[in-house]
Structure 1
Amino acid sequence: MQDNEMPSSASMDTFDMANVSLKQVLDALPEAVYTVDQDGRITYFNDAAAVFWGVRPELRKSEFCGSWRLYWPDGRPMPHDECPMALALRQQVPNRGHEAIAERPDGSRVPFQAFPTPILNHSGKLLGAINMLVDLTDSIAINQAAQRYQAIIQSSDDAIVSKDLNGIITSWNPAAEQMFGYKAEEAIGQPILLIIPADHHSEETEIIGRIRRGERTENFETIRRRKDGSLVEVSLTTSPVRDRRGIIVGASKIARDITDRRRAEQQQHMLIREMDHRIKNLFALANSIVSLSSRFAETPGELAISVGRRMNALSRAHSLTTPSSSTASGRKEQLTTLHDLIWTIISPYVDPREEPALRCKVTGADITVNGPAVTSMALLLHEFATNAAKYGALSVPEGRIDIDCMIEGDEFVLQWVEAGGPPVVPTEKTGFGTLLEKATVSTQLDGRVTRSWDPEGIVIKLTANKERLSAADSE
């Protein structure tokens, strides 16, 4: 027998291959195939085996396997006489499907499965064996990739679902369980319409049509229904799933819950509208203050001082209502009370070296001030304090102000009593404060202001609707 030839038909009993020899068949196979005699010496190998081993072994001298070195699947060295072929010869039974690793002379390693089968004659005598080596490199890489993808799918925060072309659910990850409320065993095998509201069923028809055409959809925002009937806003990405032949057999869907994003967007829009509203109000208010102040200022310098003081008063007042923090889930203004507002407006007129209570005393009921009432009350109190500093009790060191707050039914009453100041001179002159009172007290606060000029000092009585003071800005 010549090198690299199969044993004759007589030595291997009879092979009926018609007009094609067995060697020609084995030479044409893409998988590594070789034969050994009863002692394990290699008697034939095809070209695929030589490529697999990276070497062409010497016939009738190399034993059991043509690999340069062999290893067990865990990386331990495997002696050639313990390889699957050697075991098949010793036991004289097929030893198929065992895995091992072959090392080539260049150092590269190839994981493989061996399928050695003993060859016996009619009397049962061992003649040798034939073996096929299947390279597992690609399948291992595919399996590893599949395992990685499966791990990603299982740990993803997004719901990942697959379905066939009939819309039947074929896979359902833990995030889908959490998002939609159905366990995997409840969802798999059910139509995907299980989670699609009735008024959105047409979307599924469109999506399946696009999948059949090989198209992918990304960031498609829609509504899905949970097991408890509640709705969830999602962003969908849908991709075709193909088999090994490249034929589309289904679709995978990634659903991301966008409820928080929607809430944040709505909150952002609300804050933008609120900012727009407040800025417009601020400009309108500033325009009004400048316009009214200009009527009573005799010089540009006096106008600048007057406007500046009023704007500073508003700034100090509104600093009381600035929230200490803001979140997208809910923003609430910090509430202020009338007592805090009074002290904020009065404090610039009190000498910091003095005890504030010696100059001003605030007593009685307190009440929350909110929304547009803050602006109105801050401007009114600023005018009271400014006049007191110019002409009344705060214009002399001995003067003092007693502010008493009372609740009378649906009304809140603030009584401003000055004493110890210069002699009181009643006046009917219309000033900024008078115009302000007409513009805000009756319309915004549903109240009124009265004055009396007692010998000891002016007495101002401000009456306002209690609910108007605490009402939030609804515009």
Structure 2
Amino acid sequence: MHDLRELADATSSSGLQSAFRSWSALLERLPIGVYVCDRQGLLINHNRRAGELWGRGIVSADGLTRYCGALRAFDAKGEPLRLEDSPIARVLRTGEPVRDCEIIIEQPDGARLTLLSNAEPLFDETGDLVGAVNCVQNITELRMARDQLRERAGWGRRIVEHSPIAIYTTDGDGRLMSFNSAAAELWGREPVIGEDRWCGSHALYHPDGSPMPLGECPMAQAIRSGQPVEGAEAIFERPDGSRGAFLAYPTPLVGSDGKVAGAMNMLVDISGRKAAEDLQKSLLDELNHRVKNTLATVQSLAAHSFREDRDADEMRRSFEARLMALSHAHNQLAARNWEAADLAQIAEAVLAPYHDADGRLDPQGPSTHLSAPAAVTLAMVLHELATNAVKYGALSQPDGRLSVRWEAGPEGAVKLVWRESGGPAVNSPSRRGFGVRFIEGALTREMGGEARFEFAPDGLCCTISFRRAVSD
């Protein structure tokens, strides 16, 4: 085993010999690893800390170890690193320093360390390259912390990108710097980074529907005031004309100089909630309207059912029967969420009490959907006609027959023919009773239709026409 002096004489490196004689004690006390290679890359000296990093003892100037004392080396990505590509080998090849190069080394027990390498060339007094020195520092914990920070930052970016809430950022002048896919979907467009300002919406409006300039939007207010804005409501419009509503939560971002450097905004889409609120209001308004109409109808029925010239029990039965007819219509409407009712089902329900085994009732017609007001009115009209038929018309006789036919025409037109036969002889009345007046008034007032009565000798015929059908 050659000592350092003999190796220095053999390689004619008097400059190296002189340097090691004066600095060897200092090198041993450095907290970083330091080692030196000659012009051919042979390891000729290293301090204690370098051996600790390598995890094994290396006899300096053994004539075998080149470029590095580690068992194995890898680049910063973890790929195997050839010794000829190590930092100190590059210095010996080019004569130029290699600074802040990260490499990974593997110790004999399999443990891996990340080292920060700074290699410098060594020249003799004549300027010839005689070797290189490498300073290596263990930055394993630093790299782990840095990787964790990068991973967490990546998580943050992925969370923002995949968030169902629209998120975007701007600089201090309001120019958009970033946005996630939820924001682009909400806006219905992808704004131009660095050009669009304040918000990516095509247009904005105040909750009352008046235009909101983009320069007055919540994001602009937050940047100009330096204060966050919480839950500011606005209506947005997409390029295709569709609209929605959001709650904005812009928060200013302050730089190291204490000035607002930008802002981040979260837009919570409340379009569904606003639509539900509008629907609820419409339903309440509609319910209020229907309740008023129903009460008015009940009041009218009571006024005409309870008269002083009639028996009390008869008045009560008449009133209850009319309420049941009204109830039948309501049941049909409730089954269809008060959107429509089928004429056939209404006719069947109203006339059900008068059916018998002889089949004297014959209601026929196509499935025809009626609006809510039309369904209620028609149920009351059919009830009045049936009541009259039972008392005075065809259904008052065993051989009497009742035919009810209807057909649906264009533009929501409906025609229904009520025809009685086989009953008592019919004479044209000298005055118009409650039933006739109610039918004519209800059809005209509630349905915009009309009723024509024909008092033929063989039975009453009533033709009803109106245009309050709902399209099937």
Scaled by the length of structure 2, the TM-score of the pair is 0.67
Give ranges in structure 1 of 5+ residues lacking alignment. Answer: 1-7, 16-20, 326-331
Match status 1:378 vs 2:360: no
Q: What amino acid maps onto 2:380 in structure 1?
A: L
SS in 1 for 2:446: coil
Q: 1:287 to 1:152 in 2, by over 3 A?
A: same
Match status 1:349 vs 2:354: yes
Corresponding residue for residue 288 of structure 2: 276
- Counterpart-to-counterpart distance in 2, 1:383 and 1:463: 13
User: Are the aligned partners of 2:371 and 2:470 in contact in 1 as well (CA < 8 Å)?
Assistant: yes
User: Are the aligned partners of 1:380 and 1:437 in contact in 2 as well (CA < 8 Å)?
Assistant: yes
- Counterpart-to-counterpart distance in 2, 1:223 and 1:189: 22
- Counterpart-to-counterpart distance in 1, 2:228 and 2:68: 49
Aligned pairs, number: 427
5 Å matches for 1:204-243? 204-210=219-225, 212=226, 215-224=227-236, 226=238, 233-241=245-253
Match status 1:202 vs 2:216: yes
Q: 1:174 to 1:348 in 2, by over 3 A?
A: same
Tell me how far 1:360 sits from its aligned partner.
2.5
SS in 2 for 1:166: coil
Q: What amino acid maps onto 2:157 in structure 1?
A: Q
5 Å matches for 1:47-446? 84=86, 94=97, 96=99, 98-100=101-103, 112=114, 114-122=116-124, 123-126=128-131, 128-134=133-139, 135-180=142-187, 183=190, 186-192=192-198, 195=201, 199-200=212-213, 201-203=215-217, 204-210=219-225, 212=226, 215-224=227-236, 226=238, 233-241=245-253, 248-290=260-302, 292-295=304-307, 296=310, 298-299=312-313, 303=316, 306-321=318-333, 324=336, 333-334=339-340, 336-337=342-343, 341-351=346-356, 353-355=357-359, 358-360=360-362, 362=364, 369-403=370-404, 415-421=417-423, 433=435, 436-437=438-439, 440-445=442-447
User: Are the aligned partners of 2:103 and 2:117 in contact in 1 as well (CA < 8 Å)?
Assistant: no
- Counterpart-to-counterpart distance in 1, 2:426 and 2:92: 128
Q: What amino acid maps onto 2:169 in structure 1?
A: S
- Counterpart-to-counterpart distance in 1, 2:368 and 2:391: 29
5 Å matches for 1:14-53? 33-38=32-37, 39=43, 42-43=46-47, 45=49
Tell me how far 1:117 sits from its aligned partner.
0.6
Stretch deviating more after TM superposition (152-161 or 260-269): 152-161
Corresponding residue for residue 207 of structure 2: none
- Counterpart-to-counterpart distance in 1, 2:112 and 2:292: 75
CA RMSD, 1 decimal = 5.2
SS in 2 for 1:115: strand
SS in 1 for 2:340: coil
User: Are the aligned partners of 1:335 and 1:370 in contact in 2 as well (CA < 8 Å)?
Assistant: yes
Q: 1:83 to 1:341 in 2, by over 3 A?
A: same
Q: 1:121 to 1:435 in 2, by over 3 A?
A: same
1:34-78: CA deviation from partner (whole Å, max 9, x where unpaired): 2124327641549xx99xx7x9988978x9989999776666899
Q: 1:385 to 1:105 in 2, by over 3 A?
A: farther
- Counterpart-to-counterpart distance in 2, 1:225 and 1:442: 44
User: Are the aligned partners of 1:359 and 1:400 in contact in 2 as well (CA < 8 Å)?
Assistant: yes
- Counterpart-to-counterpart distance in 2, 1:407 and 1:231: 38
Tell me how far 1:208 sits from its aligned partner.
0.8
1:432-458: CA deviation from partner (whole Å, max 9, x where unpaired): 63674476345435666676665544x
User: Are the aligned partners of 2:406 and 2:417 in contact in 1 as well (CA < 8 Å)?
Assistant: yes
Q: 1:244 to 1:58 in 2, by over 3 A?
A: farther
Q: What amino acid maps onto 1:147 in structure 2?
A: G
User: Are the aligned partners of 1:366 and 1:405 in contact in 2 as well (CA < 8 Å)?
Assistant: no
- Counterpart-to-counterpart distance in 1, 2:34 and 2:457: 130
SS in 1 for 2:384: helix
Tell me how far 1:247 sits from its aligned partner.
6.9
Stretch deviating more after TM superposition (446-455 or 219-228): 446-455
User: Are the aligned partners of 1:448 and 1:463 in contact in 2 as well (CA < 8 Å)?
Assistant: yes
Give ranges in structure 2 of 5+ residues lacking alignment. Answer: 1-15, 38-42, 205-210
Q: 1:56 to 1:313 in 2, by over 3 A?
A: same
- Counterpart-to-counterpart distance in 2, 1:199 and 1:172: 21
Tell me how far 1:157 sits from its aligned partner.
4.7
Q: 1:462 to 1:240 in 2, by over 3 A?
A: same
User: Are the aligned partners of 2:339 and 2:372 in contact in 1 as well (CA < 8 Å)?
Assistant: no
Tell me how far 1:400 sits from its aligned partner.
0.4
Q: 1:448 to 1:206 in 2, by over 3 A?
A: closer
User: Are the aligned partners of 1:93 and 1:118 in contact in 2 as well (CA < 8 Å)?
Assistant: yes
- Counterpart-to-counterpart distance in 1, 2:32 and 2:458: 121
- Counterpart-to-counterpart distance in 2, 1:382 and 1:316: 10
Q: 1:199 to 1:455 in 2, by over 3 A?
A: closer
SS in 2 for 1:141: helix
Q: 1:247 to 1:107 in 2, by over 3 A?
A: farther
1:160-197: CA deviation from partner (whole Å, max 9, x where unpaired): 3221111122224444444445545x342443377565
- Counterpart-to-counterpart distance in 2, 1:217 and 1:69: 57
Q: What amino acid maps onto 1:265 in structure 2?
A: E
- Counterpart-to-counterpart distance in 2, 1:230 and 1:452: 55
Corresponding residue for residue 3 of structure 2: none
1:352-394: CA deviation from partner (whole Å, max 9, x where unpaired): x555xx533557x998643423222211211211332344322
Tell me how far 1:242 sits from its aligned partner.
5.2
Q: 1:36 to 1:447 in 2, by over 3 A?
A: closer
Stretch deviating more after TM superposition (143-152 or 284-293): 284-293
SS in 2 for 1:218: coil
Q: 1:202 to 1:41 in 2, by over 3 A?
A: same
Stretch deviating more after TM superposition (289-298 or 380-389): 289-298
Scaled by the length of structure 1, the TM-score of the pair is 0.67
